[in-house]
Amino acid sequence: MTHASENVSVPDPILVAKRENRVWKKFRTHRSAMVGGGLALFFVVVALFAPILPIDDPAATDWMAVRKAPSLAHPFGTDEIGRDVLSRMIWGAQASLLAGVVSVAIAIGLGVPLGILAGYFSGWVDAVISRCTEALLAAPFLVLAIALAAFLGPSLTNAMIAIGISTTPIFIRLTRGQVLSVKAEDYVESARAVGLPTFKILRRYIFPNVLPPVLVQGTLSVATAIIAEASLSFLGLGQQAPDPSWGQMLNIAKNYLHQAPWMAMWPGIAIFLVVLGFNLLGDGLRDALDPREK
Amino acid sequence: MSAATHCNKDIPIFSVSDLTMRIAGDASDIVERLSFDVFPGKTLCIVGESGCGKSITALGLMGLLPPQEVAVRSGTIRFEGKEYLAAEAHQARHLRGDRLAMIFQEPMTSLNPSYKIGVQIAEAVTCHHSGSYVDAKKQALAMLAKVGIPGPELRYDEYPHQLSGGMRQRVMIAMALINNPAVLIADEPTTALDVTIQAQIIELICELQKNTQMGTIMITHDLGVVAKLATDVAVMYGGQIVESGPVASIFNAPQHPYTIGLLSSMPNLSGYKERLFTIPGTVPNVQSMPKGCRFSSRCPFCSSVCKTQPEVRVVDDAHSVACHFAPLDQTLELSA
């Protein structure tokens, strides 16, 4: 063993270079991921800074400027009671992104632990969790979300809970599948041979190693959740007036498509861009985290 | 750890008797009536070709086989004087990694890719012994140095992918031995490594064993490793131990036709080069094991008597063999 000792006694420059995160490197050079990330980041920043941006009060009506086309005073035009569409768009971004992120957080928070339990313990635990998952998956995503939101009562919080619960089965399934493959890994066996308690194995050996695909799915699910929130708000089950949201703006705008097309155009474009952004970001993450493409 | 180091060397520290295991849904046993003893400071090598049940035996001995998939049908394992198989799950868990350790075949995949190797070694300490992480880290650093990893402080903070196969196997050994186990089970620890590293790892295990007086069960198909490490040998075929005894006795006077076949299929570096001997055929799978002697389908001496299960005969001091013809030379001479 003395032979091996002579090989590497000083820090090897190659090894040091290896420490630079390969995933980040790959992600950074992924063009569409950067575009997607930029789009997502733009909306996040706009939503975060809504209170301090120099824009009109989104609830302030102006009877002198009803359904006015875009102009210098109102760059995105005004709506049917003279509110500034730009400021409603910006405040609406808050509702959309909040709904996207919170509902996915709910779904991950519920789905990942359940998936880990189902995958690791198999037997009746798996049977119960998997059958419930399948029952939830049997109902179409949006229908389920609408039903839950209607059941809980119309509000943004309830919409987020409804979307979160409807998204959960995807994460249970994904996590369970990952756990099935990770738990067969030698390092889990060796963790058991070392005598680690089951909870510690789940937390330190299973959880971190099932995380990458969950992150990818999480990012993609944010996009889906944003659409779902817009849909619920469009139906009146999400954000309640007078607080702005894109879905609700579209709902009103559909009545004035001929007279004031911009009222529908801006929320449509915004939803399109933010969803595109999160999807590209998710795809980029998937490519960067994919061990086969290293 | 005091119990192990001062215990009587003539009393087996790990004793398996009549262990029979079966995979759920199979008609016959994957491992049948396994019996052997491991003594402190001694190494028992279990040899046999692929598929003879070596690795499943190792996992079974550790108690790592999921009970719903592999059923232990009979037998006992006594470890440090206590029944191990029947122990409560949490008691067995406290023994694993502390008093009873294991090294795996595949160092490349046996470490958690998400954590630094040092943390993983320290974790093996903290999960069995109360004490601070700082102490565990000190122990882990000392152990890393002991297993011949240069610059332990530097390596402590590295992830498994930053280490070579040989390094990782050293880390695995450090992890297994950090709590001074009384018994080490090594499942082909050198198979995945290249030849020069193999020699180093064997050397390392040898050295560490000398210092700690632990009993070792080495599972291997490499007779070179056996010659280097073993004090006792058990030859496995088709899930049974067909011959066992002290290493010198097995190598010099093999009695079972399978052992003879194994030994003659070793390449010889000196002397006349001829075609290497092979045992015809392969190990039959569990479902199609022949009745009676399991080796009968490949045995050159097979006769009608082999349709019945051979009993274990003691041919020499501690050398026993499960063959109708044992001791082979005398029996064959008589019949000739």
Tokens representing A188 are: 């889990």
* Chain B residues touching A182 at Cβ < 8 A: none
DSSP 3-state assignment of B164? coil
* Chain A residues touching B95 at Cβ < 8 A: 195
Q: How far is B54 from chain A (nearest CA, A)?
A: 16
Q: Which domains does chain A have, with CATH numbers?
A: 38-48+74-293 (1.10.3720.10)
- Helices then strands, counting H and E runs in chain A, come out as 13, 0
pTM given for the model = 0.81
Helices marked H in chain B — which ranges?
A: 2-5, 54-62, 89-95, 117-126, 133-146, 152-156, 165-177, 195-212, 223-229, 247-252, 257-264, 328-335
| B254-270 pLDDT per residue, tens | 888 899 888 888 877 77
Amino acid present at A129: I
Contact B97 A194 (CB under 8 A): yes
B165 contacts chain A (CB < 8 A)? no
> CB-CB: which of B94, B115, B166 is closest to A4?
B166
DSSP 3-state assignment of B244? strand
| A243-261 pLDDT per residue, tens | 899 999 999 999 999 988 9
For residue B327, whether the previous peptide bond is cis, meaning omega lies within 30 degrees of 0, is yes
Q: What value, to the nearest 5°, has the Cα angle with vertex B124 and ends B118 and B129? A: 125
Query: What region does A99 belong to: left with phi over 0, alpha with psi -120 to 50, or beta?
Result: alpha
Average pLDDT, stretch B43-59? 87
Of B262, B267, B336, give the one whose Cα is nearest residue B299.
B262
Residue A96 in this model has a pLDDT that exceeds 90: yes
A36 vs B300 pLDDT, higher one: A36
Chain A residues whose C-beta sits inside 8 Å of any chain B C-beta: 1-5, 7-11, 15, 18-19, 122-123, 185-187, 189-197, 200, 204-205, 208-209
Contact A193 B104 (CB under 8 A): yes
How much is the pLDDT for A16?
45
d(CA A230, CA A92): 10
Residues 20-79 on B with a CB inside 8 Å of A are 59, 62, 64, 68
Q: How far is B197 from chain A (nearest CA, A)?
A: 8
Mean pLDDT computed over every residue of chain A: 88
How much is the pLDDT for B307?
87
pLDDT band at B178 (very low <50, low <70, confident <90, very high): very high
Tokens representing B322 are: 């499960």
Contact B114 A194 (CB under 8 A): no
Q: How far is B233 from chain A (nearest CA, A)?
A: 24
Phi, psi of B313 (to 5 degrees): -110, 140
Which contacts qualify for B307-316: CB closer than 8 Å, 24 or more apart?
Answer: B315/B255, B316/B245, B316/B249, B316/B253
Name the pairing type of β-strands B240-246 and B312-316: unpaired
Nearest-Cα residue of chain A relative to residue B58? A193
* Chain B residues touching A204 at Cβ < 8 A: 112, 114-115, 123
Q: What proportion of chain B, given as a percentage, has pLDDT over 90?
A: 29
Nearest-Cα residue of chain B relative to residue A187? B110
Q: How far is A1 from chain B (nearest CA, A)?
A: 5
Q: For the purposes of burial, counting CB atoms within 10 Å of the CB of B10, is it exposed (0-12), middle (13-18) or buried (19 or more)?
A: exposed
Mean pLDDT computed over every residue of chain B: 86
Residue A6 in this model has a pLDDT that exceeds 70: no
How much is the pLDDT for A124?
93
Residue A17 in this model has a pLDDT that exceeds 70: no
d(CA B30, CA B168): 31
Residue B2 in this model has a pLDDT that exceeds 50: no
Inter-chain Cβ pairs, chain A and chain B, closer than 8 A: 98
d(CA B212, CA B28): 39
Contact A189 B64 (CB under 8 A): yes
A274-288, B36-50, B306-320: segment of lowest average pLDDT:
B306-320
| A162-187 pLDDT per residue, tens | 999 999 999 999 999 999 999 988 89
Domain coordinates of chain B in residue numbers?
2-99+179-335
How much is the pLDDT for A2?
41
pLDDT band at A219 (very low <50, low <70, confident <90, very high): very high
* Chain A residues touching B59 at Cβ < 8 A: 189
Write the ipTM.
Answer: 0.82
Torsion of CA A39, A43, A46, A47, to 10 degrees: -160
Contact B96 A194 (CB under 8 A): yes
Nearest-Cα residue of chain B relative to residue A194? B97
Considering A42-56, A98-112, B223-237, B314-328, the range whose residues carry the highest mean pLDDT is A98-112
Q: For the purposes of burial, counting CB atoms within 10 Å of the CB of A25, is it exposed (0-12), middle (13-18) or buried (19 or more)?
A: exposed
Considering A10-19, A92-101, B106-115, the range whose residues carry the highest mean pLDDT is A92-101
Q: Furthest-apart CA pair in chain B: how many Å?
A: 71
* Chain B residues touching A18 at Cβ < 8 A: 161-162
Contact A195 B150 (CB under 8 A): no
Q: For the purposes of burial, counting CB atoms within 10 Å of the CB of B115, is it exposed (0-12), middle (13-18) or buried (19 or more)?
A: middle
| B273-324 pLDDT per residue, tens | 777 788 888 888 777 888 888 888 888 888 888 888 888 888 877 899 988 8
* Chain A residues touching B150 at Cβ < 8 A: 4-5, 7-9
For helices A85-121 and A123-138, the axis angle rounded to 10 degrees is 150
Q: For B2-99+179-335, CATH number?
A: 3.40.50.300
Q: Furthest-apart CA pair in chain A: how many Å?
A: 88
